[in-house]
Amino acid sequence: LTRAPRGVALVMVGDELLDGRVRDTNSAWLIERITVLRGCVDSLRVVPDDVAGIAAAILHGSAESAAVVVAGGLGPTSDDLSREGLARAAQEELVLDLELLAALHERWRRRGRTMPESNRRQAYRTVSGKPIPNPRGTAPGLLHLLDGVPVVLLPGVPAELHAMWEATAEGIVAPLVAGNAPRRLRLRTARLPESALADAVDAALGQGGAIERGYLVNEFGVDLLLLAGDEQADLDAAGATLLARLAPHVYAVGDAGLERVVVEELLRRRQTLSVAESCTAGLLGGCLTRVPGSSAAFRGGVIAYHDAVKVEALGVPEDLLRSFGAVSEEAARAMATGVRDRLRTDWGLAVTGIAGPAGATAEKPVGMTWVALAGPGATQAERSAFPGDRTQNRTWSVAAALDLLRRALAIQPRLP
Amino acid sequence: LTRAPRGVALVMVGDELLDGRVRDTNSAWLIERITVLRGCVDSLRVVPDDVAGIAAAILHGSAESAAVVVAGGLGPTSDDLSREGLARAAQEELVLDLELLAALHERWRRRGRTMPESNRRQAYRTVSGKPIPNPRGTAPGLLHLLDGVPVVLLPGVPAELHAMWEATAEGIVAPLVAGNAPRRLRLRTARLPESALADAVDAALGQGGAIERGYLVNEFGVDLLLLAGDEQADLDAAGATLLARLAPHVYAVGDAGLERVVVEELLRRRQTLSVAESCTAGLLGGCLTRVPGSSAAFRGGVIAYHDAVKVEALGVPEDLLRSFGAVSEEAARAMATGVRDRLRTDWGLAVTGIAGPAGATAEKPVGMTWVALAGPGATQAERSAFPGDRTQNRTWSVAAALDLLRRALAIQPRLP
């Protein structure tokens, strides 16, 4: 698979992105947006607030790519130097744009304030440049053609960048780069390590071939990304083959999260759910309720972190805890039926495990987790042995619980 | 504040970082590690799997910086081209390192397998380059001096990169760059928007001045980063001034999270806590139990998403819910006392709010949240109006609850 000839060069400007003060989230957001257009990102450069460095990044970008997008360095202070960097790259002067200056004054006046002198800098542009309006803030953007390649300057404040990308910048960049990148299909899987998924994919499609694969480890599992050239048919065929082969592990085709898949099926069935959580201590309930509208299906639950809460709030017999321990198939089943009975829901979902770092024994190592589901049919339980740290083990425990419910609900994802 | 003369140039290699298949987490990790050494990162370039592009990034980096760190492109397949890029930049041949080849064969033999032919590529190095051992995987690293500037090639797999940075690469890079970056102090604040915090800081320290400020919006509030040149005394003085001025809002000096600060104080006091959650639906319990050892203080709680659960599991009077609604001061107080009584804990902490997008009325808009705390003294309640979306409002609701408890526990952060 060859890369499309030319796409976008990204330049992120700011000392704060390189000294740990601020994490760069703009580049990931722009990559996502350009990818959605099926455009390519050719390169990404993060440079400090320095005229020569900004100019060099713009020149390199415009030599290699069909468009350059610069984010940051448009503020009113003396270390905001993207305008100056562009002017040096273009070998043009910066001139005061009187219309822009009037608009800035007007913006401040509407907020009942006088424009600080420092903001005058934001009314400068290259001689041949064109301002890009900013609906969210004071920093105007700038469009400049450098040997025919559009260079788009946008502010680094994420909300302003997003609004200006959507209103203006995407319209400049999209016609030049859209459709050059490979077509793609995403299969979202649970309960398979990345290497096992890759082996299964290689076995199904053969190694090499026309379909490139990417594996993205996400919160609750591994996403398989299939990339094909311009042949939609190849992609459809590979998707169908893999969906058949991997069916029990694929919870969605496309973007839907595991929690959304489960909640939407409950809403469709008009069924209700409650949870009983020990090691996850609320993460499962917190996750299910990310889905807007989940309140019609999700009733609530009990965080039974201490054993006394398992006994008193869920009715787990003290004897059972003494005989089998709180991390056991028996405890998980009793928690699931207990919460289902007490909250009077169609389904009761329970998690109990040893997240670590403490609490392990020889028989029950860190990462051992039981999930159980009580419902209209027989109660089911499943054991996992997670190899992660406390945070990972708890997240994977949520995934194991959600996925047990998903399989009980017999959800079948389909190709678009 | 002027930038230190020369630091590290980072080069991240891989098509997958630019086409949305994989998010680059290595650069943020390396920036963090280099910052901890008080080293500067001069630039970051993300380039595709392309020999010319990799070579250009290495050449530009070595011309500008004291060291170049390249991550990715060391795998066994034909699109892993960092070795080739370095060779082109250095105008040297790649040669097969027989010792390295033997070590690779040995590594595969120990795992009971024969080395695939493709892995031979990993035994190549530049003529004057030196292999860097990889304790976690098959891809060896490479150290090459380019006109006296060390270029360090590391694999892109995060676990391997981290291990090799710590074992070897940091020792090469640190002596060249450590101590060049500004000294720093972090004050973590809650319940203040970024702009209000910035205004308060400007009022306390004056605008401009020797102390540079950074504002990092984090999960539960805004971190203030103070950067000073080489004068530790300036930083201490500014820190003391700000701590006095901002005291009610500062929950930590340094790295501790809000949940850790609260749990550690409960452990110190040997007190216990339970939670009653409506709109957060478990996120508060999930957050408190991130802290290892929290089980000695956190007992559990009730996820009272549906009103019936508030009544039956927490004893909130039905009348009260009819009169005031579930999102009200009265309901929050009743939930807090209810969970404290039923789980027999020292403190009971409750959250109820309208996370959105649905559920709002004219009197109760999206983002309105009540938190309440029942404890040894009188029950307290606080209202917030959050301006975010569903996800943000729920996270800020957790922060409001934690911060109510923090102030009740009278935690006083101190300068180191």
**A78 vs B34, more confident:** B34
pLDDT score at B199: 85
CA distance A316 to A307: 9
CA distance B393 to B187: 23
pLDDT score at B36: 84
On whether the CB atoms of residues B122 and B41 are closer than 8 A, the answer is no
The model's confidence at residue B4, banded by pLDDT at 50, 70 and 90, is: very low
The model's confidence at residue A261, banded by pLDDT at 50, 70 and 90, is: very high
Structure tokens at B73: 């492109």
User: Among A41-50, A220-229, B340-349, whose mean pLDDT is lowest?
Assistant: A220-229
CA distance B60 to B182: 25
Longest dimension (CA), chain B: 83
CA distance B127 to B121: 15
Q: Name the residue among A21, A45, A280 with its Cβ closest to that of B45.
A: A45
The residue with tokens 């409002």 is B393
Q: Which of A166, A223, A159, A246 is nearest to B20 (CA)?
A: A223
With H, G, I as helix, E, B as strand and everything else as coil, classify residue A213: strand
The residue with tokens 């901002």 is B246
Q: Which of A407, A415, A406, A413 is nearest to A259 (CA)?
A: A406
pLDDT score at A271: 98
The model's confidence at residue B3, banded by pLDDT at 50, 70 and 90, is: very low
Q: Say how many CA atoms lie within 13 Å of B230 toward its Cβ.
A: 4
**Binary contact (B283, A283; C-beta < 8 A):** yes
pLDDT digits (tens, 9 = 90+) for A12-33: 999 889 987 778 989 999 998 9
CA distance A103 to chain B (A): 23
pLDDT score at B1: 36
Does the CB of B298 have a partner CB in chain A at under 8 Å? yes
List all residues of chain B from 330 to 349 with a beta carbon under 8 Å from chain A. 342-343
**B251 vs A196, more confident:** B251
CA distance B290 to A10: 37
Q: Name the residue among B15, B50, B300 with its Cβ closest to that of A303.
A: B300
Does the CB of A196 have a partner CB in chain B at under 8 Å? no
pLDDT digits (tens, 9 = 90+) for A80-111: 899 999 999 999 999 999 999 999 999 888 87
With H, G, I as helix, E, B as strand and everything else as coil, classify residue B268: helix
Q: Name the residue among A290, A292, A301 with its Cβ closest to that of B303.
A: A301
CA distance B192 to chain A (A): 18
Residue A290: is it exposed, middle or buried by C-beta count within 10 angstroms (0-12/13-18/19+)? middle
Does the CB of A31 have a partner CB in chain B at under 8 Å? yes
On whether the CB atoms of residues B186 and B253 are closer than 8 A, the answer is yes
On whether the CB atoms of residues A226 and A212 are closer than 8 A, the answer is yes
Mutation for A interface: B303, B343, B402, most A CBs within 10 A: B303
Does the CB of B23 have a partner CB in chain A at under 8 Å? yes
Mutation for A interface: B12, B21, B291, most A CBs within 10 A: B21
CA distance A258 to A281: 19
On whether the CB atoms of residues A133 and A168 are closer than 8 A, the answer is yes
B26-36 vs B170-177: helix crossing angle, rounded to 10: 50
Beta-bridge partners for B381: B372
Mutation for B interface: A186, A274, A303, A344, most B CBs within 10 A: A303
CA distance A261 to A189: 12
Global pTM reads 0.81
Q: Name the residue among B16, B42, B293 with its Cβ closest to that of A214.
A: B16
pLDDT digits (tens, 9 = 90+) for A341-384: 999 999 999 999 999 898 899 899 999 999 999 999 999 999 99
Model confidence at A3: pLDDT above 50 = no
The model's confidence at residue B116, banded by pLDDT at 50, 70 and 90, is: confident
Residue of B nearest to A392 (CA): B290
On whether the CB atoms of residues B138 and B104 are closer than 8 A, the answer is yes
User: Among A51-60, B145-154, B228-237, whose mean pLDDT is lowest?
Assistant: B228-237
Structure tokens at B41: 């990162």
pLDDT digits (tens, 9 = 90+) for B209-231: 788 887 777 788 888 988 887 67
Q: Name the residue among B3, B32, B304 with its Cβ closest to that of A15.
A: B3
The CA distances from residue A204 to A66, A211, A237, B67, B300, in Å, are 37, 12, 11, 44, 46
**Binary contact (B19, A28; C-beta < 8 A):** no
pLDDT digits (tens, 9 = 90+) for B274-314: 999 999 999 999 999 999 999 999 999 999 999 999 999 99
On whether the CB atoms of residues B354 and B366 are closer than 8 A, the answer is yes
pLDDT score at A389: 83
User: Among A349-353, A383-387, B115-119, B348-352, whose mean pLDDT is lowest?
Assistant: B115-119
List all residues of chain A from 227 to 266 with a beta carbon under 8 Å from chain B. 227
Q: What single string gives the DSSP state of each residue in A284-299?
A: HHHHHTTSTTGGGTEE
Model confidence at A2: pLDDT above 70 = no
CA distance B416 to B407: 21
Model confidence at A78: pLDDT above 80 = no
Longest dimension (CA), chain A: 83
The model's confidence at residue A413, banded by pLDDT at 50, 70 and 90, is: very high
Distance of CA A32 to the CA centre of its chain: 9
Cα angle A63, B40, A83; round to 5: 40
DSSP state of A169: I
Give this complex's ipTM. 0.81
Does the CB of A275 have a partner CB in chain B at under 8 Å? yes
Measured distance between the N- and C-terminal CA atoms of chain B, rounded to whole angstroms: 24
What does residue A63 show for φ and ψ, rounded to 5 degrees? Answer: -75, -30
**Helical segments of A111-185, H only:** 158-164, 170-177
**Binary contact (B299, A305; C-beta < 8 A):** yes
Mean pLDDT of B147-163: 93
pLDDT score at B2: 41
Structure tokens at B191: 């319940």
Percent of chain B with pLDDT over 90: 69
Mean pLDDT of chain B: 92
Q: What single string gives the DSSP state of each residue in B38-98?
A: TPPEEEEEEE-S-HHHHHHHHHHHHHHSSEEEEES--SSSTT--HHHHHHHHHT--EEE-H
On whether the CB atoms of residues B263 and B290 are closer than 8 A, the answer is no
Q: What single string gives the DSSP state of each residue in B130-174?
A: EEE--SSSS--EEEEEETTEEEEEE-SSHHHHHHHIIIIIHHHHH
Model confidence at A128: pLDDT above 80 = yes
